[in-house]
Chains A and B, each alone.
Chain A
Amino acid sequence: MKDLQLITLTVNGTEHELVVESRRTLADVLRHDLGYTGTHLGCEHGICGACTVLIDGSPARACLTFGVQADGCSISTVEGLASDGELSDLQRAFSERHALQCGFCTPGFLMLAEAYLAEYPNPSTEEVREVVAANLCRCTGYQGIVEAISDVARSRRESR
């Protein structure tokens, strides 16, 4: 008999109530039960970071989190970054700096960067690089990712 739990998740501002198996990961809940397929699974053991989402504002590996652990939490995923069809400054910067090729790791880097810049709005390029090292990208060599995040930090600073 399956071990089922009723949970409530708020994803990008929308509340969802659903029944999940206790062993089901938050990544699978988001992707396959709720249709937020922008969160990707690259390793399912917490190294690659493609599944990075924000749980109550903090970055977390959705592959290492059970859905039941996120009960009552507010989750932010890549689908919530653009508003009214307009890309966010960070998304635009990623395109301008060619910070993505296959795009599979991209949602994880975007969510990581969003959380980081919210907490540390004045990073040096080297500090950005240290944070970017939390996740893996196989296509770009990271340079565009570091540049894009640094660009956004700078432009947000200047517009404050």
Chain B
Amino acid sequence: MSGTGIDPAPGEATLSRAGRWIGASVPRREDPRLLTGRGRFVDDLDRVGLLHCAFVRSSVAAAGVEHLDLAATRNVDGVVAAYSAADLALGELTAILERPEFTVTSMPILAGDRVRYVGEPLAIVVAEDAYAAEDGVDAALVDYRPGTAITTMDQALEAGAQQVHAELIENTVLDLEPFSDPHIGAVFDAAACVAEVDVRTGRQNATPLEPRGCLAEWDARDEQLVVHVSTQVPHQVRTAIARCLRLPERSVRVIVPDVGGGFGLKCVVGREEVAAAAVALRLRRPVKWIEDRRDSLTASFHARQQAYRARAAFDADGRILALEADVRCDVGAYSVFPFTSGVEPLMAATELPGVYRVPRYHVRARGIATNKAPTAPYRGVSRPQIVLVMERLMERAARELHLDALDLRRVNLIEEFPYTGINGITYDPGSYRASLDLCEQQLRDEGWYDRRAQPTADGTVLGIGYACFNERTGYGTEAFSQRKMTVVPGYDIAGVRMDSDGTVSLTTGTSSHGQGHETTLAQVAADQLGLPPTAIKVRQGDTDLVTYGWGTFGSRSAAIGGGAVHLAAGRLGDKVRIVAAHLLDAEAADIELVDGQARHRDQPERSLSLAAVAEIAYLRAHRLPKGVDPGLTAEAAFDVLTSGTFSNATHGVVAALDPATGQAQILRYFVVEDCGVVINPRIVDGQVRGGVAQGIAGALFEEIRYDEQGQPTTSTLIDYLVPTATEIPVIDIMHLETPCTFTETGAKGMGEGGTIGAPAAVLNAVNDALRGTGVELDSVPIRPDAVHRALGGNS
């Protein structure tokens, strides 16, 4: 292919054992450009006359803004313009849950007379280069009238506390009891065992290696504001920009270049993206904004800071009788578009029972506003926490009942499917029990239980821990509608076009940012069209190219996006068969598409190349059968109409604790996972490993911290401890396959499971190593000083 300008992916692409492209470890289409420095990330874009912007940000957590003076800024060498909220007069971002338990607050694009967290943007400075823009920021003067910073949930809930928004009561944005049971107390009173946990999880930042950024430019010919954004959700960014700038949606085009990771942080709309677009429109010049790491850590979006008081009642055999939880999520200062500040409490409350049969359930979940950066969905969204809560309850109950903790899980695991839980969710078939059995067997066969029983040469203490969980994926319109967002994601739309030479382009509403959709979605279409994946070019992330899409988040793309691709490619195949049948004087039902040919099923010598069929469809349309339109295109929407489809896994971890330092080192990490039909094993394994790494990060290392004044103290990667290669172990994976019956391909989503299971498995392993010390840890990140103290160290 050299000389064509097209990169073949390195390595041979071969069909799966079943003779299909689905299931084959096809080399990634994305790799050659990314490996040679020819990827195109947003900061790689350049324009003649490009301006750069930076933001004047609040230096205090809670204050009235007395005065914002940009006069000196505007005089800085190289600064072109500087605008305050009043100068731009933009609409606000308002993300709403249509629930009486939700209090609506708005997020202005630039803060006006009040700031609510350190890093909140107050003004945009536009300059000839990025250095001058920062000079301009430094020259801005802001007079604050300081208020009391609300930095913890306890403080937020105190009587008489300052309210983060005047509309709030008790700083509570959402307070719901979706499942209540007034008589549950009696079950606890009568139970053989009541296990209780008090779990806190640290605030995290998703930390994509590429921070956020955009380049906005006015296209006078197309009369469009074109905004290139590093985002997961191009259409939702278009909607937000159109609303805030009061433009028709067709006057905004959002294009997503290569995206350097998102993990949820880029599935909400950034205020800076809207502001940069507004300035490009106003100045009629291209404007670029590239976030730096400090702003990314302190002023983009956070997640995960939650507190649970939970208890479960068990009978003497270890069977769960009831579950009760009080959940509080520190959602920060604003509700983010489109997911709202309710996403964490909603998901926690709805999905807490997890893989276990829970007959009685009572939950209260709250979102509490604080003067910290707003929260966005982050890989796993509340599931790392709820799995941790359930798995700690299991361990504690087992200890109190003197039962084996894995046997206690086995008593409670859902084994008959479909299963409709007390939470109203219907779980499609999975391999909950088998994954646990196989995971335990693997660690036993490897001799870890024997090693755990013996003293180690280096004085470290070994512990073994597990987490059993499922991962709700493929949230369709039905599942999302129950959240009652005013913007309801779910379905996806794919388009397929075969051009006159037989080459195929595919559009998808999903928006890959590392997941390899250019490869996997081509595999799905390839099986439908009898073409190799390399013959199919996937186009995505362009609101003018794609009919509509919800982007990529919540492990939806393989399940839902893949379903739409399967249907659209199938429809295109149907039309190809009709045209080919006419030309071959056969019935369409007898035509099969194989190896780039349309051929008669029983007489394979009667065949035409797809290129020949396509040529007729466009260039010799007079030869088409009567009533068949020229062209070879198809579009299809796909949706999941159930609760979603559930992947599942068991993680097994062996951890070694160093009594001298209190540090946990992971010696062994084994995953038995089931995500239904695997489209590309290489990519699935990559998602599992990368997910586990982020889960380990949350268990042992990462925490966004603030001081009592609401000043962020983790503003660099020296303070915020993203693990390196020496902290992340080899992760081995065993696959089970319980196909989904309603996603067209049998695939389930699986982008988040690694992250969901890891904190609980690591924490359980650490607690197993602490056996006999009388100390049990229920919160993450696990602090080395707590381990050190538990092991008898003086600290």
Contact residues in B for A31 (Cβ distance below 8 Å)? 43-44
- One of B141-149, B181-189, B254-262, B467-475 at the interface: B254-262
Inter-chain contact B690/A36, CB cutoff 8 Å: no
B31's partner among A39, A95, A132, A140 (CB-CB below 8 A) is: A95
Inter-chain contact A24/B131, CB cutoff 8 Å: yes
The answer to the question of B210 belonging to the interface, with a C-beta cut-off of 8 Å to chain A, is yes
The minimal Cβ–Cβ distance linking B385 to chain A, given in whole angstroms, is 20
Q: Which residues 8-57 of A sit at the B interface, judged by CB distance below 8 A?
A: 21, 23-24, 28, 31-32, 35-45, 47-48, 50
The answer to the question of B30 belonging to the interface, with a C-beta cut-off of 8 Å to chain A, is yes
Q: Given the complex of chains A and B, what is the CA–CA distance between A77 and B207 in angstroms?
A: 25
The answer to the question of B46 belonging to the interface, with a C-beta cut-off of 8 Å to chain A, is yes
The answer to the question of A5 belonging to the interface, with a C-beta cut-off of 8 Å to chain B, is no
Inter-chain contact B731/A138, CB cutoff 8 Å: no
Q: Given the complex of chains A and B, what is the CA–CA distance between A91 and B685 in angstroms?
A: 20
The answer to the question of B160 belonging to the interface, with a C-beta cut-off of 8 Å to chain A, is no
Inter-chain contact A104/B261, CB cutoff 8 Å: yes
**Tally of contact residues, B, Cβ under 8 A:** 60
The answer to the question of A64 belonging to the interface, with a C-beta cut-off of 8 Å to chain B, is no
Central interface residue in B43, B259, B514, by most chain A CB within 10 Å: B514
The answer to the question of B659 belonging to the interface, with a C-beta cut-off of 8 Å to chain A, is no
Q: Which residues 279-310 of B sit at the A interface, judged by CB distance below 8 A?
A: 292-293
The answer to the question of A115 belonging to the interface, with a C-beta cut-off of 8 Å to chain B, is no
Q: Which residues 521-558 of B sit at the A interface, judged by CB distance below 8 A?
A: none
Contact residues in B for A110 (Cβ distance below 8 Å)? 35
The answer to the question of B9 belonging to the interface, with a C-beta cut-off of 8 Å to chain A, is yes
- One of B320-328, B434-442, B561-569, B718-726 at the interface: B718-726
Which residue on chain B has the smallest CB distance to residue A140? B690
The minimal Cβ–Cβ distance linking B8 to chain A, given in whole angstroms, is 10
Which residue on chain B has the smallest CB distance to residue A88? B35
Contact residues in A for B717 (Cβ distance below 8 Å)? 43, 45, 47-48, 136
Q: Which residues 1-26 of B sit at the A interface, judged by CB distance below 8 A?
A: 2, 9-11
Contact residues in A for B619 (Cβ distance below 8 Å)? none
The answer to the question of B627 belonging to the interface, with a C-beta cut-off of 8 Å to chain A, is no
Q: Given the complex of chains A and B, what is the CA–CA distance between A1 and B77 in angstroms?
A: 8
Contact residues in B for A145 (Cβ distance below 8 Å)? 725
Inter-chain contact B37/A36, CB cutoff 8 Å: yes
The answer to the question of A155 belonging to the interface, with a C-beta cut-off of 8 Å to chain B, is no
The answer to the question of A107 belonging to the interface, with a C-beta cut-off of 8 Å to chain B, is yes
Q: Given the complex of chains A and B, what is the CA–CA distance between A1 and B78 in angstroms?
A: 10
Q: Write the A73-115 contact mask toward B (1 if CB under 8 angstroms, else 0).
A: 0000111011001010001101110101111111100100000
The answer to the question of A144 belonging to the interface, with a C-beta cut-off of 8 Å to chain B, is yes
Inter-chain contact B210/A40, CB cutoff 8 Å: yes
Q: Which residues 31-47 of B sit at the A interface, judged by CB distance below 8 A?
A: 31-32, 34-41, 43-44, 46
Which residue on chain A has the smallest CB distance to residue B208? A138
Q: Given the complex of chains A and B, what is the CA–CA distance between A9 and B733 in angstroms?
A: 47
A45's partner among B211, B293, B694, B725 (CB-CB below 8 A) is: B293
The minimal Cβ–Cβ distance linking A83 to chain B, given in whole angstroms, is 11
Grouping DSSP codes into helix (H, G, I), strand (E, B) and loop, the A interface class, with mixed when no group exceeds half, is loop
Inter-chain contact B36/A142, CB cutoff 8 Å: no
Grouping DSSP codes into helix (H, G, I), strand (E, B) and loop, the B interface class, with mixed when no group exceeds half, is loop
Inter-chain contact B2/A85, CB cutoff 8 Å: yes
The answer to the question of A130 belonging to the interface, with a C-beta cut-off of 8 Å to chain B, is yes
Contact residues in B for A2 (Cβ distance below 8 Å)? 77
Inter-chain contact A42/B726, CB cutoff 8 Å: no
Contact residues in A for B694 (Cβ distance below 8 Å)? 138
Q: Given the complex of chains A and B, what is the CA–CA distance between A140 and B263 in angstroms?
A: 12
Inter-chain contact B689/A103, CB cutoff 8 Å: no
Q: Given the complex of chains A and B, what is the CA–CA distance between A40 and B258 in angstroms?
A: 12
A104's partner among B41, B683, B686 (CB-CB below 8 A) is: B41
Q: Given the complex of chains A and B, what is the CA–CA distance between A98 and B145 in angstroms?
A: 53
Inter-chain contact A139/B690, CB cutoff 8 Å: yes
The answer to the question of A68 belonging to the interface, with a C-beta cut-off of 8 Å to chain B, is no
Q: Write the A137-160 contact mask toward B (1 if CB under 8 angstroms, else 0).
A: 111111111100000000000000
Contact residues in A for B9 (Cβ distance below 8 Å)? 95
Inter-chain contact A138/B37, CB cutoff 8 Å: no
Central interface residue in B28, B34, B131, B292, by most chain A CB within 10 Å: B34
Central interface residue in A36, A87, A139, A143, by most chain B CB within 10 Å: A139
Inter-chain contact A146/B725, CB cutoff 8 Å: yes
B37's partner among A79, A95, A146 (CB-CB below 8 A) is: A79
Q: Write the B490-523 contact mask toward A (1 if CB under 8 angstroms, else 0).
A: 0000000000000000000000011110000000
Inter-chain contact B731/A143, CB cutoff 8 Å: yes
Contact residues in B for A81 (Cβ distance below 8 Å)? 35-36
**Given A45-B717, A47-B718, A100-B35, A87 and B690 contact (CB-CB distance below 8 Å):** no
The minimal Cβ–Cβ distance linking B132 to chain A, given in whole angstroms, is 9
The answer to the question of B728 belonging to the interface, with a C-beta cut-off of 8 Å to chain A, is yes
The answer to the question of B420 belonging to the interface, with a C-beta cut-off of 8 Å to chain A, is no
The minimal Cβ–Cβ distance linking A100 to chain B, given in whole angstroms, is 6
Inter-chain contact B261/A38, CB cutoff 8 Å: no
Which residue on chain B has the smallest CB distance to residue A86? B2
The answer to the question of B67 belonging to the interface, with a C-beta cut-off of 8 Å to chain A, is no
Contact residues in A for B293 (Cβ distance below 8 Å)? 42-45, 48
Inter-chain contact B292/A44, CB cutoff 8 Å: yes
Inter-chain contact B683/A37, CB cutoff 8 Å: no
Q: Given the complex of chains A and B, what is the CA–CA distance between A132 and B728 in angstroms?
A: 11
Central interface residue in A110, A142, A146, by most chain B CB within 10 Å: A142
Q: Given the complex of chains A and B, what is the CA–CA distance between A119 and B70 in angstroms?
A: 53
Contact residues in A for B211 (Cβ distance below 8 Å)? 42
The answer to the question of B394 belonging to the interface, with a C-beta cut-off of 8 Å to chain A, is no
The minimal Cβ–Cβ distance linking A40 to chain B, given in whole angstroms, is 7
Inter-chain contact B725/A142, CB cutoff 8 Å: yes
The answer to the question of A133 belonging to the interface, with a C-beta cut-off of 8 Å to chain B, is yes
Contact residues in A for B39 (Cβ distance below 8 Å)? 38, 103-104
Contact residues in B for A96 (Cβ distance below 8 Å)? 10-11, 27
Q: Given the complex of chains A and B, what is the CA–CA distance between A39 and B39 in angstroms?
A: 10
The answer to the question of B209 belonging to the interface, with a C-beta cut-off of 8 Å to chain A, is yes
Inter-chain contact B35/A87, CB cutoff 8 Å: yes
Contact residues in A for B28 (Cβ distance below 8 Å)? 95, 98
The answer to the question of B692 belonging to the interface, with a C-beta cut-off of 8 Å to chain A, is yes
**Given A47-B718, A92-B11, A102-B513, A21 and B131 contact (CB-CB distance below 8 Å):** yes
Q: Given the complex of chains A and B, what is the CA–CA distance between A50 and B263 in angstroms?
A: 18
Contact residues in A for B10 (Cβ distance below 8 Å)? 87, 91-92, 95-96
The answer to the question of B693 belonging to the interface, with a C-beta cut-off of 8 Å to chain A, is yes
**Given A44-B293, A94-B31, A142-B728, A102 and B37 contact (CB-CB distance below 8 Å):** no
Contact residues in B for A47 (Cβ distance below 8 Å)? 716-718
Q: Given the complex of chains A and B, what is the CA–CA distance between A82 and B691 in angstroms?
A: 30
Contact residues in B for A41 (Cβ distance below 8 Å)? 43
The answer to the question of B730 belonging to the interface, with a C-beta cut-off of 8 Å to chain A, is yes
The minimal Cβ–Cβ distance linking A32 to chain B, given in whole angstroms, is 7
Inter-chain contact B11/A103, CB cutoff 8 Å: no
Q: Which residues 117-167 of B sit at the A interface, judged by CB distance below 8 A?
A: 130-131
Q: Given the complex of chains A and B, what is the CA–CA distance between A86 and B692 in angstroms?
A: 33
The answer to the question of B250 belonging to the interface, with a C-beta cut-off of 8 Å to chain A, is no
Inter-chain contact B209/A105, CB cutoff 8 Å: yes
Inter-chain pairs besides A45-B716, A100-B35, 14 sampled, C-beta below 8 Å: A1-B77, A31-B43, A37-B43, A38-B36, A38-B39, A42-B210, A42-B293, A47-B718, A96-B11, A102-B210, A134-B724, A136-B722, A136-B724, A143-B731
Enumerate chain B interface residues (CB-CB to A < 8 A).
2, 9-11, 27-28, 30-32, 34-41, 43-44, 46, 77, 130-131, 207-211, 258-261, 263, 292-293, 513-516, 682-683, 685-686, 689-694, 716-718, 722, 724-728, 730-731
Enumerate chain A interface residues (CB-CB to B < 8 A).
1-2, 21, 23-24, 28, 31-32, 35-45, 47-48, 50, 77-79, 81-82, 85, 87, 91-92, 94-96, 98, 100-107, 110, 129-130, 132-146
5 A-B contacts (beta carbon < 8 Å): A40-B41, A43-B717, A95-B10, A139-B686, A141-B728
